[in-house]
Amino acid sequence: MHKTHSVTATNLNLPLDSHLYVIVRATNNAGLQVTTASPPFVVDISPPEIIHEPIVVLENPESKTQVDRSVISLRWEFSDAQSPISVHSVSVHTHHDGDVPFDVLHLGDVKELTIPLTDSQFIDGNSYEFIVSACNAAEIWNCAACNCA
């Protein structure tokens, strides 16, 4: 006979920055026991840290211009000492909350993105804001913006 049980403990005051383990002991009807422990884990309450805010990688950085309308490249960096970064998302907004050329892009743990464009996706005279968000394994988010296109 196989029984599966789960336990949820709430309102615990777990320490931060310490390796914690879950230890489970099972006893059968004959009184025999087995004990096992989980891999270590750390309680993480901190969001990812912004190392480098998002920037548009320009063809001519000195003049802050880009002539090629077929592609736009972004670069950024987040870090987290306690939990790995699991997801990045990139969204675009206009200065007047108008239509944007694409939906939110969900990415893995990457630090740059090149977006191929058609001539109609960005409109001359509009300002665009790119928002890059990072989520760590504890599902805590942080974001940074770039008013740069």
Q: How is 26-75 classified by DSSP, letter by letter?
A: EE-TTS-EEEEEPPPB-----PPEEEEEEEE--SBTTTTB----SEEEEE
The pLDDT value given to residue 2: 61
The pLDDT value given to residue 20: 93
Q: What confidence tens digit (pLDDT) does each residue in 34-85 have?
A: 999 999 988 899 999 999 999 988 777 776 666 677 788 899 999 998 889 9
Share of the chain above pLDDT 90, in %: 48
Q: Which of 10-19, 26-35, 89-98, 124-133 has the highest mean pLDDT?
A: 26-35
